[in-house]
Structure 1
Amino acid sequence: MGKNHKDISMAVIRRLPKYHRYLKDLLDKEVYRISSKELSAMMGFTASQIRQDLNNFGGFGQQGYGYNVEELYGEIQKILGLMASYNTVIVGSGNLGQAIANYTNFQKYGFKLMALFDTNPKLIGMKIRDVPVFDIDELQGFIDEKQVDIGIICTPKEFAQDIADKLVKSGVSAIWNFAPIDLKVPEDIIIENVHLSDSLFILSYLLNNQE
């Protein structure tokens, strides 16, 4: 048996989406069996790292056989919670909010976009991929009525904390924040900050420090 999932380090958890992605590619290519060595060559993790990571969740591999790709993919989907479904809303319906709304893969994995919200009268009443944009004043009532799990923040940074407070007060369990600010939320709220500029600045550093 694997460990209690609460004992698993965030470093391992953060590698799981990459396993999920590569295993999905293998299934799409009708590859149903793979060794840790072959996975290692594809993913850039060492074979022993892969074995250690996957041993956290139970014994998947068999000596001399490797991993059953379909079984492992299914298990990682379960571990990541992708067998559940989550009601989500996006606050901020500008370019970034619309881009996320148009990303259909989320729906495939159980993230159901219920609505977008904005303050801009030109956007209110529009539909993005059949999902309506509402006035921000309707946010709390909507979340309460529809039992929204995840709030996605795509607003300018000066509005983001206020929106986070509203989302928390309305009863969301998790926030996915794209505003360039680290938000303060209660300990029982799960938050994932995605700072796009951080990633770009790392790229800039690497470009400037090439041998």
Structure 2
Amino acid sequence: MEKGNIKISMAVIRRLPKYRRYLEELLDKGIDRISSRELSKIIGFTASQIRQDLNNFGGFGQQGYGYNVAALYEEIGKILGLDNRYSTIIVGAGNLGQAIANYTNFEKSGFIPKAMFDINPRLIGLRIRDIEVMDSDKMEEYIKENNIDIGIICTNKERAQDVADQLIRSNIKGIWNFAPTDLDIPENVMTENVHLSESLYTLSFLLKHNSLE
């Protein structure tokens, strides 16, 4: 990613949500300001890393004062695009799709679920938190008519690429993929893959090698 003439690495971008989460906790505790050194003790990054990361976007801190917690929280939200609202659909109305539909924090952050889609006739017509499950055959038309920004794929891996192709044909802007497979996606469609099994297997590795030590 580039901001002006500065190229910002994905590693920095992936740290921003963590900054925002810890800043929200500080706000809940009524803390108004914090130094990079104090923040480093809480978040686990070095103070220099924090300053370097934030300087990519303007810095926001004042020498001798530190960071205004509320202002930094708001600015990071803007950097992450959370001052926008995104219309989303969920493809796959099984357990995972229903769990995402029921998670209201996404909606509070501006990701608004408009509809769900599935090929299972037993699921079509159901309403999950007032979100209707529709026939997947109607998905492309629905996306175009309702200006949907993000498609969330919660299908099995066998269906995932076909679903992604449908989303791409419908001019979707972003795909959040929970299917356990890598998708062939054009560069103009932003994609974030969430491989739950890989995360679990990493934990298994850590547990195994910790016990060996």
TM superposition score normalised by structure 1: 0.97
For 2:87, what is the secondary structure of its paired residue? Answer: strand
In 1, Cα distance between equivalents of 2:6 and 2:147: 26
Change (3 A) 1:94 1:5: farther
- Give identity over the alignment, percent: 66
Structure 1 residue 143 displacement after superposition: 0.3
2:209 alignment counterpart: 209
Deviation at 1:94, TM superposition (A): 0.1
C-alpha displacement of 1:175:
0.3
Whole-Å separation in 2 of the counterparts to 1:153 and 1:5? 34
1:59-116 Cα deviation digits (max 9, x unpaired) = 3111111100011011000000000010100000000000011110111111010000
Quick one: distance in 1 between partners of 2:130 and 2:23?
31
Letter in 2 for 1:51: R
Q: Which amino acid aligns with 1:142?
A: Y
Letter in 2 for 1:128: I
RMSD, matched Cα: 1.3
Aligned to 1:38: 38
Task: Give the aligned partner of residue 66 of structure 1.
Answer: 66
- The reply to whether residue 163 of structure 1 matches residue 163 of structure 2 is yes
- Provide the secondary structure at the position in 2 that maps to 1:12: helix
Task: Name structure 1 gaps, 5 residues minimum.
Answer: none
Other-structure match for 1:153: 153
Deviates more, 1:45-54 or 1:55-64: 55-64
1:18-42 alpha-carbon deviations (Å, 9 max, x no partner): 0010011111111110011111011
2:140 aligns with: 140
1:53 aligns to 2:26 (yes or no): no
Quickly say closer, same or farther: Cα 1:108–1:5, change in 2 above 3 A: farther
Matched to 1:176, the amino acid is W
Give the distance between the partners of 2:5 and 2:169, measured in 1 at CA: 28
Match of 2:130 in 1: 130
User: Which residue of 2 is the match for residue 75 of structure 1?
Assistant: 75
Q: Secondary structure at the match of 1:209?
A: helix
The residue that corresponds to 2:110 in the other structure is 110
Aligned to 1:95: 95
CA 1:3–1:120 in 2, change beyond 3 Å: closer, same or farther? Answer: closer
Report if the CA contact (8 A) 2:6-2:56 is conserved: no
1:185 positional shift: 1.0
How much does 1:4 deviate? 2.4
Q: Which runs of 5+ in 2 are unaligned?
A: none
In the TM superposition, structure 1's runs of 4+ consecutive aligned residues that sit over 6 Å from their partners are none
SS in structure 2 at match of 1:191 = strand
- Given that 2:51 and 2:59 are in contact with CA atoms closer than 8 Å, whether structure 1 keeps it comes out as no
Q: Write the deviation string for residues 118-170 of structure 1: whole angstroms up to 9, x where unpaired.
A: 01111111111111000111101100100100000000000000000000001
Structure 2 letter corresponding to 1:86: Y
